[in-house]
């Protein structure tokens, strides 16, 4: 089971940018020249309303480089050893900053190309502004990875069927929605999921949703694997 920790996004903002020992350079770049790339541990940039993070935060990590043509078309080349524990969560972040009751809609489209080997999940990571609650939506997973907490059963909501898990990592509550079958593209209607947590389960109140991140939570990718976000959109009103 993967160990959850607080503040992957916060670490990317607060920690110094540390160069990794092994730099793979162009191995991380797409066929066309990228607008931005970085092999720094917490390398980040902002492009067309999204903030991109390389975000190598776990212990025992190997090398990883991120490239981006835009905030919604980006990828990473990662070479993390075949050991347990999450090594990184490269992601694109969209700031929402609206309470659940003030949201009229919150949806996202995703299209990814992911490897058939390694251990990872492709997921949304959604935080309230106080970083007390973390909502994860796993759209695909491969290898020995699993969510924190205990199963709360299966639910069809937001356009997908999920197995729901509830846990706490000692710093914040974590609600994980793991898709019952892998998907590489689709649309997620996020707001009904937030309302289900708030109104049906009462696991939190009318919290303000701060960061909505989308990326790849990588445990292992030995030998070097490519993870690509072909397209992404996040819309709210």
Q: How far is CA 76 from CA 53, 73, 125, 141, 198, in A?
A: 10, 11, 18, 17, 34
Handedness of CA 91, 78, 139, 119 (dihedral sign): negative
| 67 neighbors 28 (Cβ within 8 angstroms) | yes
Q: What does the DSSP 8-state code read for residue 204?
A: S
Q: Which of the residues 134, 162, 172, 179 is marked catalytic?
A: 134
- Which residues 6+ apart lie within 8 Å of 14 measured at CB? none
Asked about 40 being catalytic, the answer comes back as: no
Rounded to whole angstroms, the Cα distance separating 132 from 26 reads 38
What is the edge-to-edge ordering of all strands in the sheet holding 133-142?
Answer: 44-47, 50-53, 91-99, 208-220, 119-128, 133-142, 173-179, 160-168, 150-157
Q: Which of the residues 125, 173, 211, 217 is marked catalytic?
A: 217
Alpha helices in 80-231 (DSSP H): 190-195
Asked about 217 being catalytic, the answer comes back as: yes
What amino acid positions are annotated as catalytic residues? Answer: 134, 217
């Amino acid at each position: 089971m993967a160990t959850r920790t607080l503040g992957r996004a916060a670490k990317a903002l607060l920690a110094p940018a540390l160069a990794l020992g092994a730099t793979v350079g162009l191995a991380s770049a797409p066929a066309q020249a990228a607008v931005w790339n970085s092999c720094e541990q917490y390398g980040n940039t902002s492009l067309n309303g999204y903030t991109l993070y390389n975000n190598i935060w776990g212990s025992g990590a190997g090398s990883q480089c991120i490239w981006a043509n835009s905030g919604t078309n980006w990828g990473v080349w990662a070479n993390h050893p075949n050991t347990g524990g999450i090594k990184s969560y490269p992601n694109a972040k969209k700031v929402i900053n609206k309470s659940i009751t003030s949201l009229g809609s919150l949806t996202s489209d995703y299209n990814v190309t992911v490897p058939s080997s390694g251990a990872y999940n492709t997921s949304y990571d959604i935080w309230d502004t106080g970083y007390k609650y973390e909502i994860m939506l796993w759209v695909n997973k491969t290898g020995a990875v699993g969510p924190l907490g205990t199963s709360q059963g299966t639910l069809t909501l937001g356009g997908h069927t999920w197995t729901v898990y509830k846990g706490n990592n000692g710093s914040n509550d974590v609600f994980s929605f793991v898709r019952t079958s892998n998907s590489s593209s689709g649309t997620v209607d996020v707001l009904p999921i937030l309302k289900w947590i708030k109104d049906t389960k009462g696991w939190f109140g009318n919290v303000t949703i701060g960061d909505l991140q989308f990326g790849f939570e990588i445990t292992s990718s030995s030998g070097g694997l490519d993870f690509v976000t072909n397209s992404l959109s996040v819309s709210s009103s």
